[in-house]
Chains A and B, each alone.
Chain A
Amino acid sequence: MIEPISNNLTHAGRHLLSRRHFFGETGSALSAVALTHLLAEQRVLAVENPARVQIDPSNPHAPRKPHVVPQAKNVLVIFCAGACSQLETWDYKPELIKQDDKPLPGGPSVTFQGPAGNLARPQYNFRPRGECGKMVSDMIPHLGALVDDFAFVHTLTSKSNTHGPAENFLSTGFVQDGFPSIGAWVTYALGTENQDLPAFVAIPDPRGVPQASVNNWGPGFLPAVFQGTPFSSSQPIQHLRPPISISPERDIAARDLLRLINDEHLKLNPSDSDLAARIASYELAAKMQLSVPEISDLSTEPEHILKMYGADDTEDELKAGYARNCILARRLVEKGVRFVQVFNGAYASGGKLNWDGHQALREQYDMHGRIMDQPSAALIRDLKQRGLLEDTLVVWCTEFGRMPMFQKGAKGRDHNPNGFTAVLTGAGVKRGVSYGMTDELGFKAVENVSSVHDLNATILHLLGLDHERLTFRNNGIDRRLTDVHGHVIREILTT
């Protein structure tokens, strides 16, 4: 992308670059060297990447243009923490029913948690759904009803079979701690349309934070301004309000005095943009104090909406809580928040608080399915009926899948990073299609094997971002969300 490069150049450099005949020659080796040298001298190449994003420090969230015309403007991720089994949801394996309780020939004797037992049939019945007839399990009938809108990727693979690193991998492209999350990358690249709300919101499950916790929405080495802001329908943003001991009048007086003192200081240091940016940040904070409570206030939602999401469920407080988070997510997307993550499932707990069904999968999934299904489906339907799916990409995902065998002596499945499912819908995504296949028992991906990098490359692609060009220099390396991997899964895209 030439534009950012030229922004970085001196006047002379820009002049040179803009001269057509000069460009006409850049094909020649020597002139390429010349251009390179010119750029290097102006610290474009040597220090920063050519496609480096230009951030205005006084307005870091200003909307920025993607690399190409995007299909999607916003992203909504439904993240099922704890590794939701592909075999109990989207990946129908009739052969596994036949092989129930038989050993997997040539299968591993030891998996992540210990000795492997026999194959175990899917714990729910499957039936054809929608017009496309996609087989989906009875655990998630509401989501199943939407399959005509979905594109399935059945062959995701992960680099780790441990929850924390695998959640890191899904959200940051690296198994290690400390890399920027996808939402941070996206807001770094694109800024946001709504300056009164955070650009990137992470909505943790009512039961707690996911296993990799803040890594899923952290900034890594990107400037902290691009991190996700965690809040939910029940947990407000920290420090949004002053302590109760400080009255509104007192607060306003403090704000005015601060402005005066900062202005006096700025007068002595004119043209210091860092100082100006800090003053601006207090103004944005003041706006957020109004806009965030407003958006979190679900009391304005009509009865039928609460019902549709299941937010009125008085029997199941967890479901109602998750449903309220889903409504909040819709409201954020509606207001133009760039990236929204909704978590379903919390941290390790023997499968009690998330999808980690090692021991008693059916029993636990009955509960988790009930919590996740109706609200998630309602969220997608609601976005659709409001026309928001036109420019919003929705991704349902989980950090890895589960084994077709039960663990020895248990009624649950162990970790399996070799073939699991993600679901996409919305802007730029084909409807009612499935990509890739796992083997007949669902043990590993065998056809059109893809990786989490591919999923992330595809998400960026739909936002108009080239995952190979979206980079940030850290510790001597131009880092990318997709490390040195990733291919856009074009087969599930409309264009």
Chain B
Amino acid sequence: MYLKLTRGSRRTAYSTAQRFHYRQPIAFAAQEQIDYHDTILSPAANHPASTQHTMRRSLPHILAALSVAMLLNAARGDEFDFEAELRPLLIARCGECHGPQVQKGGLRLDARHTAFKGGDSGEVIVPGSSDESELLRRVSSDDADERMPPDGMPLAKDEIELLTRWIDSGADWPESDYDREAKRDRRLDHWAFQPFERDEGGGQKDEGKIDWFVEAKLKEHDLAFSLEADRLTLIRRLSFDMLGLPPTIEESERFQADDDPQAWANLVEEALNSPRYGERWAQHWLDVIRYADTHGFEVNTPRDNAWPYRDYVIRAFNEDKPYDQFIIEQLAGDALHADEATGFLVAAAVLLPGQIGKDDESKRLARQDELDEIIQGTSATLLGLTIGCARCHDHKFDPITQRDYYAMQAFFAGVDYGDRTIDDPGREARLLEAASLASRIREIERDLQLRPPVDAQRNDEYISPVTAKFIRFTTLATIDDNRHEPCIDELEVFATSDPARNVALASSGATPTSSGNYSETGKHQLKHVNDGLYGNDHSWISNEHGGGWVQIELATPAEIDHIVWGRDRNEKFKDRLPVRYRIEVSLDTESWQLVAAHSDRIPIGTPPEEVEALLRKRPKDSSIDVAGFVAELEGLKTKKNELEATRTVYGGKFREPDTTFVLRRGDPEQRLDEIGPAVPSLFKVTSSDTNASEQQRRLALAKWIASPDNPLTARVMVNRIWMYHFGQGLVATPSDFGLNGARPSHPELLDWLAGEFIRSGWSVKHIHRLILTSRTYRQSHYIDSHATKTDRDNRWLWRFTSRRLEGEAIRDSMLAVSGELNLKMGGPGFDLFKSRGGLSGFPPVEQFGPEQLRRMIYAHKIRMEPVPVFGAFDCPDAGQATPIRSQSTTAIQALNLFNSQFVAERADQFANRVRSVAVGDLERQVRVAFALAVGREPTDSEHQASLHVVNNHGLATLCRVLFNSNEFLFIP
């Protein structure tokens, strides 16, 4: 409709194509203005409705223009009928370039406040003086380059005269509704800033409602729902989507055979109640807030106490913590016994003190950067607003000013990044219990006779003389919680006959054996254990973390009374030290005699002064049960330490807020005026108390964000939930609900869901339930060629869009299928790299113990460092927020999945598992492998080809293939 109107307006107006090349100095700015206002900023671009409204209004304006000449006759003397005479003139002759749509040179002449304000080059109307008024000069100029309007007919003589008289008489311009409307910031009409219906439905859940909204849109576009997906597809979809893992064969078979009409609803409930759900959905949240276990930037040191926040998020999802409470805790958990939750505030990368310049300017800039991350994280995550864009200037698209930005900053002006003690309610009781252990510990220590702790350099074991041919040193544990394999640089044995002669030397004819060696080449071979050379470069290392034995066979049996061992006689290395060990001797390797052990030694790590005290108290003779006491002592001490340990989280550290200033161009060196905490002015909330305490500030902000009246919070969250279910949000820009964001595809549905969210008490699981039980969700993913033509991107939801699993889910699912997945929840997590942070690169871990086989959300997340093998599957780097993961397909992904040792080992384990349930029956093994990996029987050709491969290349080859198959890797 308005296209016609456009042409019409052209006929009445001027050849405007040329006007774009208008040669005035202001022309350049003017053109930019067009881009700014018309393509993006103007409500027209985002509001078809209001565009039409504007257009409709244009028509009378044009008609008015035609009658200007007539109206002019009515002007007389110094009295003007502004609305009848002047405004129509300004609109008709100036409005196209200086009107509501376009403001060339920053000038708008049809509204009072802008007309008097003038344009980029200053005022154009000087009341009382037409001579000084640029407006008059330009419309009456003889110079064609200067004269306005630039094309078409110049203003008629009487029109110029009317303007002259009006200005000279004082330019009286009574403010009308038109002016008031023009003054209003129409950006405030943006849909996402409007309240939504909240009390509809009276808290009743309405099961078919989603489908009703979706179907209405489908019909509008001449589309229809696809058929319901088959049951196998459904259970796999639900399981990957909700839990990030495939269903087990039993679950799958049970559901496929379940004829209860409630079967699906029951399955949904099971998924919602599974602890795996929280582990899956917490990852989505961590993506958005850029969670990592390192600090980022160049040094990227470990952030050792980040994980309690990660565990908090997992718990929150599993417990269905009301979302409003979840928000408040994350912003002000210190006020609510939820210290872990404040990890949210400081989730971003941060420069550590040593990385910031020593000069004050560098420090001030670093502080601004810290605060900026908090503002960005809070506003984009919770409100879907890009307030961060207003740090240096007013927001380019949204009605957010630079002042709004700094008012927002004032909420956080007392927040520092750092380790925060978790003040949990049970702490006092734990401390009391710890105190009660102290007296028993003292008692044992008094009675006990103890030797010094193990020493990395050298340990002397003086034993009762015993005849031996074999001397075996067995490591039971190494320092640092068995982080490494034990190392012994030399094992020496001395005979009573010649206390100076080491009979264990290879040169004396002794031979070493071991339970296994770290390497058969290089510095750490078995032969080094008795080669007579000291130090790390000539040492033996076992092949087992925290374990393994080495033994010396003497040339001939000898009576011995002294054994010496060490980790590094040269004192460079203290790692790999055996801290729990035993030394046994034998004549025949059949019967062994224990001659020395760690058990009568003071535990390593005991403070030196305590060691000294213990040694001083050591009684001369004693018949007490040393080993028993030591075991008890160690147990008591461990328990006491655990009870006394303060748990900490990397979270907000709070102090008296700094004064906040508006900063010119965001430059910390250019302070403008002081500003107190306030939410962005567009929300028309009275600003909070400037004198409020630091904590009250954050609480006030949190409560405003988490309020049912906030137009954004609920919409933003239900949209995120929707997006993770369907692969795309109702609003395609989940962290930008501003004017430059996408408009909702289903606005009514979005608002209804947001209302439901609030009515349900902000229950995330309620929203899941509504979505999962909808017909919309249960559709087939089949691509219909007709519907594709209309809606290739499936924006109107005529099918379920299948999509590739995320890197984490791929890894977890492989482990689930191979039967190795360790479901241990929570805690500091495991390493995928040999270093936890720092500068020297990140060599990947290549040996995978049970810890490494936990779900990937528990992997220590190194900021910016792609996870081995799986990082290439678009895992976020935790540098910037990732509200949507990209889904790329690359050759590197293929190489990683097809060739990595990790996948090869999982395939071996998968094969072992298959073999154990289908012993010896290759045909059945093929079927079981398919069932475990993709939940179905192989087709005939698959079965035949697979059997051939299994026969010739082994079952693991089939398993490796299944792990690489599209079907395994896609949410169907």
Q: Do A and B bind each other?
A: yes
A positions within 8 Å CB-CB of B: 24-34, 36-37, 39-41, 43, 45-47, 57, 60, 108, 110-114, 161-165, 167-168, 175-179, 198, 208-209, 211-215, 218, 220-226, 229, 237-243, 245-246, 249-250, 253-258, 260-262, 264-266, 269-272, 274-275, 277-282, 284-285, 287-289, 347-349, 415, 473-477
Q: Which 6 A-B pairs have the closest CB atoms?
A: A178-B879, A164-B298, A476-B736, A177-B879, A178-B880, A223-B888
Chain B residues positioned under 8 Å from A45 (CB to CB): 39-40, 45
CB nearest neighbor in B for A252: B953
In angstroms, how far is the closest chain B Cβ from the Cβ of A482?
15
Can you give 13 contacting A-B residue pairs, CB < 8 Å?
A27-B19, A27-B20, A28-B10, A29-B34, A29-B97, A30-B6, A112-B358, A208-B841, A213-B300, A239-B895, A250-B953, A347-B841, A348-B299
> What sequence of 0s and 1s flags, for each residue 1-39 of chain B, a beta carbon within 8 Å of any chain A beta carbon?
011011101100100111110000000000000100011
Quick check: B899 and A274 within 8 Å, CB to CB?
no
- Give CA–CA (A212, B351) in the complex, Å: 13
Please name all residues of chain B whose beta carbon is closer than 8 Å to the beta carbon of A225 when the two chains form the complex. 888-890
* B896 interface contact, C-beta 8 A: yes
B574 interface contact, C-beta 8 A: no
Contact B732 A47 (CB under 8 A): yes
Within the assembled complex, what's the spacing in Å between the Cα atoms of A209 and B889? Answer: 26
Q: In the complex, what distance in Å separates the CA atom of A347 from the CA atom of B840?
A: 7
Selected interface stretch from B122-130, B683-691, B766-774, B960-968: B960-968
Q: Which of A31, A34, A213, A476 has the most CB of B within 10 A?
A: A476
10 more CB-based (< 8 A) A-B contacts, given A28-B10, A113-B358: A60-B889, A112-B359, A161-B357, A177-B864, A178-B879, A179-B880, A213-B865, A245-B904, A475-B883, A476-B741
Contact partner of B894 among A208, A211, A281, CB < 8 A? A281
* Pair A33/B44 contact, Cβ less than 8 Å: yes
Chain B neighbourhood of A163, CB < 8 A? 298
Whole-angstrom distance between the Cβ of A43 and the nearest chain B Cβ? 7
- Given A208-B841, A213-B865, are A476 and B966 neighbors across the interface (CB < 8 Å)? no
A30, A112, A218 pick with most chain B CB within 10 angstroms: A30
For residue B46, which residues in chain A have a CB less than 8 angstroms away from its CB?
40, 46
Which chain B residues border A218 with CB–CB below 8 Å? 864, 877, 879
CB distance from B629 to the nearest CB of A (A): 49
Q: Which of the residues A25, A229, A264, A269 comes within 8 Å of B17, measured between beta carbons?
A: A25
- Structural contact, B48 and A41, CB atoms closer than 8 A: yes
Q: Give the CA-CA distance A245 to B960 in the complex, in Å.
A: 13
Give B contacts to A, CB under 8 Å.
2-3, 5-7, 9-10, 13, 16-20, 34, 38-40, 42, 44-46, 48, 51, 54-55, 58, 96-97, 99, 101-102, 290, 296-300, 349, 351, 355-359, 362, 369, 380, 384, 386, 389, 732-733, 735-736, 738, 740-743, 781-783, 785, 788, 802-804, 839-841, 863-866, 868-869, 872-874, 877-883, 886-896, 898-901, 904, 939, 941-942, 945-946, 949, 952-954, 957-958, 960-962, 964-967, 969-970
In the complex with contacts A162-B356, A477-B389, A274-B6 CB distance below 8 A: no
Known: A28-B16, A30-B2, A243-B901. A224 touches B890 (CB 8 A): yes
- A220 near B896: Cβ-Cβ < 8 Å: no
Nearest-Cβ distance from residue A121 to partner chain B, whole angstroms: 24
A257 touches B961 (CB 8 A): yes
Contact: A29 with B882, CB < 8 Å?
no
Whether the Cβ atoms of A475 and B880 lie closer than 8 Å is yes
Task: Identify B358's interface contact among A39, A46, A114, CB under 8 A.
Answer: A114
Contact yes or no, B733 A47, CB < 8 A: yes
B355 close to A46 (CB less than 8 A): no
Q: Which residues of B contact A209 (CB under 8 A)?
A: 841
Checking A221, A249, A254, A348 against B886 with a beta-carbon cut-off of 8 angstroms, the contacting residue is: A221
Give complex CA distance A213, B862 in Å. Answer: 12
**A27–B16 touching, CB < 8 Å:** yes
Contacts of A282 in B (CB 8 A): 891, 894, 898, 964
The minimal Cβ–Cβ distance linking A272 to chain B, given in whole angstroms, is: 6
- State the CA gap A229–B894 with chains docked (Å): 14
In the assembled complex, the Cα of A39 lies from the Cα of B38 at a distance in Å of 12
Distance of A162 from chain B, by nearest CB (Å): 5
Are B904 and A476 closer than 8 Å at their CB atoms? no
Docked CA distance A213–B743 (Å):
38
Q: Is the beta-carbon distance between B970 and A258 smaller than 8 angstroms?
A: no
- Are A278 and B891 neighbours in the complex by a CB distance under 8 Å? no
Docked pose: A283 CA to B24 CA in angstroms: 58
Our count of residue pairs bridging A and B at CB distance below 8 angstroms stands at: 334
- Least CB distance, B430 to chain A, in whole angstroms: 38
With A271-B788, A475-B736: A284-B386 Cβ-Cβ less than 8 Å: no
Closest to A60 in B: B888
* A221 near B882: Cβ-Cβ < 8 Å: yes
**A285 and B891 contacting across the interface, CB-CB below 8 Å:** yes
What separation, in Å, do the CA atoms of A40 and B41 have in the docked complex? 12
A119 to chain B, nearest CB (A): 18
The answer to whether B894 touches A162, judged by C-beta atoms less than 8 angstroms apart, is no
Question: A178 near B878 (CB under 8 angstroms)?
Answer: yes
Contact status B960-A254, CB under 8 Å: yes
Shortest B321–chain A CB gap in Å is 25
C-alpha spacing A261/B960, complex, angstroms: 12
**Complex CA distance for A349 and B839, rounded to whole angstroms:** 9
The residue of chain A having its C-beta at the shortest distance from the C-beta of B55 within the complex is A30
Contact A254 B869 (CB under 8 A): no
Q: Which residues of B contact A211 (CB under 8 A)?
A: 298, 839
Bound: A176/B298 CA distance, A: 10
- Option from B359, B899, B946, B966 in Cβ contact (under 8 Å) with A257: B946
Shortest Cβ distance from residue B944 to the other chain A in the assembled complex, whole angstroms? 10
Least CB distance from A65 to B in Å reads: 21
Which residues of A are found within 8 Å of B96, using beta-carbon distances?
A: 28-30
Contacts of A281 on B, CB cut-off 8 Å? 889-891, 893-894
Nearest neighbor of B18 in chain A, beta-carbon distance: A27
User: In the complex, which residues of chain A have a beta carbon less than 8 angstroms from the beta carbon of B896?
Assistant: 238-239
Q: Quick check: A161 and B298 within 8 Å, CB to CB?
A: no
Residues of A within 8 A of B6 (CB): 25, 28, 30-31, 34
Task: Flag if B48 contacts A37 (CB, 8 Å).
Answer: yes
B966 touches A275 (CB 8 A): yes
B58 touches A30 (CB 8 A): yes
CB distance from A393 to the nearest CB of B (A): 26
| Beta-carbon contact of A240 and B967 below 8 Å | no
CA A347 to CA B878, docked complex, whole Å = 21
A245-B904, A476-B380 known; A213-B864 Cβ under 8 A: yes
A43 to B864, Cβ gap below 8 A? no
Docked Cα-Cα span, A415 to B571, in Å, equals 37
How far, in whole Å, are A479 and B358 apart by their CA atoms in the complex? Answer: 31
CB atoms of A262 and B965 under 8 A apart: yes
B745 to chain A: closest residue by CB: A43
Q: Please pick, from B58, B949, B964, the residue contacting A253 in the complex, using a CB distance under 8 A.
A: B949
For B3, give its contact among A34, A224, A272 (CB under 8 Å).
A34
Complex interface: chain A residues within 8 A of B58 (CB)? 30
Minimal beta-carbon separation of A269 from chain B (angstroms):
7
Q: Which residue of chain A has its CB nearest to the CB of B881?
A: A475
Q: A30-B2, A33-B38 are in contact. Are A277 and B889 (CB under 8 A)?
A: yes
CB-CB under 8 A from A237, the residues of chain B are 892, 895
CA distance A349 to B733 in the complex (A): 43
Quick one: which of A29, A57, A220 contacts B879, CB cutoff 8 A? A220
What residues on A are CB-neighbors of B872 within 8 Å? Answer: 224
Partner of A28, one of B9, B55, B743, B949: B9
A479 to chain B, nearest CB (A): 9
User: Are A30's CB and B5's CB within 8 A?
Assistant: yes
Residues of B within 8 A of A238 (CB): 868, 895-896, 900
Q: Which residue of B lies closest to A242 (CB)?
A: B899
Q: Which residues of A contact B954 (CB under 8 A)?
A: 250
A446→B290 CA distance, assembly (Å): 39
CB pair A224 B888 closer than 8 Å: yes
CB contact under 8 A between A242 and B904, given known A27-B18, A28-B6, A275-B970: yes
Measured in the bound complex, the distance between the Cα atoms of B298 and A163 in whole Å is 7
Q: Shortest CB–CB separation between residue A136 and chain B, in angstroms?
A: 30
Question: CB < 8 Å: which of B39, B743, B879 contacts A215?
Answer: B879
